[in-house]
A and B are shown apart, each in its own frame.
Chain A
Amino acid sequence: MREYEAGIIRIEPRGPSAYAIDLECRGLADDAVPGQFTQVRVSDGTDPFLRRTFSISGADPESGVVRLMVDVVGPGTRLLCGMRPGMAISCIGPLGRGFDLAAGHDSRACLLVAGGVGVAPLLLLAARLRAKGDRDIHFLMGGRSSDHVSMAEDPALDGLSVVYATEDGSRGERGYVTIPLESSLREGRFGMLYACGPHPMLKAVAGMARAFRVPCQVSLEERMACGIGACLGCAVKLANGRVVRACSEGPVFDAEEIAW
């Protein structure tokens, strides 16, 4: 983990409120593994005060380019997405414990399930699974409307089958992403499930994974202050009663570990 000055290369819209931001950051590009995140400073002053937490969506050691997916949800993300190429931002990372790419699925298929901006870590995961030779990768993308699922239109998923589900039916199936998830799990050929999204979605996904006896890794979207394990602000309660830090012991957990 280090602090880097990352140069903004480009900021591309992904629907009406989300952006893909490419950064020149050799250190993060070399070291980040899927599921890890970075703490980004969005202002030189004191308001907004805290850094913003973003999963790393792309990390290319060859070019040194890192991609973040940013949904504009408040003043901090608005400032960040309003920046211009050529500007530099401070990024701390890579942080946290990422996905285990080796666990579970030998030669079997794996299923990636995203809710909204929860797609962010799964883009890098999909790219790395493919790079290591996994061919049978299925991607389920859920969100409120077609505007909220366009972040899945990323080169990392080119050539993969992406199934969409939206709550208003404006893209793909109408309803929660758990509807196509259940159909997929019924096929019985998946050896691992990876998921990231809002807490209620992850809870539902974890329940289905358990019902179908498929191992499941979830990346939790917790609000963080320091991001490096010092403040204990991002507490996660585990099934064994212990309270751990999403930023350090996570953000990726085995779904069975969490006290949902």
Chain B
Amino acid sequence: MKPDLSQRLFGLEFRNPVLAASGTFGNGEEFTDFYDVSRLGGFVTKAVTPERRTGNPSPRIIETPSGMLNAIGLQNEGLDSFVRTVVPRLAGMDTVALVNVAGRTVDDYVRVCAELDAHAPVRAFEINISCPNVKEGGVAFGSCSSSAAPLVAAVRKATSKPLVIKLSPNVSDIAGIARAVEESGADGVSLINTLTGMVVDVERRRPMLANVTGGLSGPAVRPVAVRMVWQAARAVSIPVIGLGGIFSARDALEFLIAGASLIQVGCGMFVKPRLPLEVIEGIDEYLCRHGFGSVSDIIGSLRVTED
């Protein structure tokens, strides 16, 4: 019998646990030459801010060992354009679209969520309190519980749609922050966003990125991500979405077993555009091979002690 890959979380039906991560999938149209987006469990849009943002100067990306640094800087066309041009297209996509929301102030986040609350194709929000590449907002909110909790509470009042809070790994107590956003009304958490990093051009004695620092992603960060997902999943009772360096089905299974209910693939898709499908097929194969009837059977199934 075919294993059941579907998941029902925060009132939404995901056909499988594999989503495309924000900032790596455009607004769901760049990969349509490779496959239909309806094959995915869902995807997260590029971050939306109230106003149009032109992002950081170039160079914005640099390759690193088994990964990359990026400092895009939340480039997007702004809320009005998103409502006008992207939301109608989301309506035609047969998959769960989460909108990633960012801003400089609490008010920015509230404004975006309140406006999009009325639009049915927006199924849930991923609140980005973890972007390391902007001067104001972003990770400034996500680096401690005392700034994250009030933001989540304010956004909670602005929308009835599910709220997933995207957490930063650049913190000392991930479990504490996960608990704080849960208590403030979050329906789920996703982690990890990128790790702040830096590469130096030694010949020119200059930073390789115009922004000096950037966010590290790719297979290099995966063990850090799996550890943090495990810690967060033990700390909260809301669903955890795991991401960070997934490059195969085996990688995705690590996150599921460590406690993630869903996973996201990110920059691995730049190298293997069909990676989400490879992961879905590989999870299916794993469940068959181990005799599990449903993906739910393995979520959080990590055995830490001998039994």
Contact = CB atoms under 8 A, between A and B. Distances in A.
Contact of B59 (A3, A46, A223, A229): A223
Contact of B70 (A41, A231, A237): A231
A235 B33 contact: no
Given A3-B34, A232-B60, A50 B55 contact: no
B48 to A, nearest CB: 14
Given A228-B30, A231-B270, A236 B72 contact: no
B273 interface: yes
B67 interface: yes
Most buried by B among A47, A51, A228, A230: A230
A87 interface: no
A61 interface: no
Interface string B34-56: 10000000000010000000111
Interface in B124-159: none
A41 B270 CA distance: 10
Contacts of B78: none
Contacts of A241: 54
Contact of A226 (B56, B247, B270): B270
Contacts of A234: 58, 60-61
Most buried by B among A47, A228, A229, A231: A231
Interface string A231-260: 111111100011100000000000000000
B219 interface: yes
Contacts of B24: 226, 230-231
B34 A47 contact: no
B55 to A, nearest CB: 6
A156 B166 CA distance: 52
B92 interface: no
B281 interface: no
A175 interface: no
Taking residues whose C-beta sits less than 8 angstroms from the other chain, chain B's interface range is: 35 or more
Interface string B51-84: 0001111111111111110101001000000000
Contacts of A229: 26, 30
A193 B68 CA distance: 36
B23 interface: yes
Given A46-B247, A92-B273, A225-B267, A230 B61 contact: no
Nearest to A242: B54
Contacts of B267: 225-226, 231
A230 B31 CA distance: 8
Nearest to A50: B63
B274 interface: yes
Contacts of A116: none
B218 interface: yes
A235 B271 contact: no
A171 B42 CA distance: 57
B61 to A, nearest CB: 4
A225 B269 CA distance: 10
B33 to A, nearest CB: 5
Interface in B106-140: none
Interface string A18-49: 00000000000000000000000100001111
B200 to A, nearest CB: 16
Contacts of B274: 3
Nearest to A226: B270
A47 B70 contact: no
B58 A235 contact: yes
Contacts of B30: 226, 228-230
Most buried by A among B30, B57, B67, B247: B30
Interface of B: 23-26, 30-31, 33-34, 46, 54-68, 70, 72, 75, 218-220, 247, 267, 269-271, 273-274
14 contacts: A3-B34, A41-B271, A49-B65, A49-B67, A49-B271, A225-B68, A225-B70, A225-B270, A228-B273, A232-B55, A234-B58, A235-B57, A235-B60, A242-B54
Interface of A: 1-3, 41, 46-51, 92, 222-237, 241-243
The 4 residue pairs across chains A and B that have the minimum distance between CB atoms: A233-B61, A226-B270, A230-B30, A46-B66
Given A49-B271, A231-B61, 5 more contacts: A46-B219, A49-B66, A49-B219, A230-B25, A231-B24
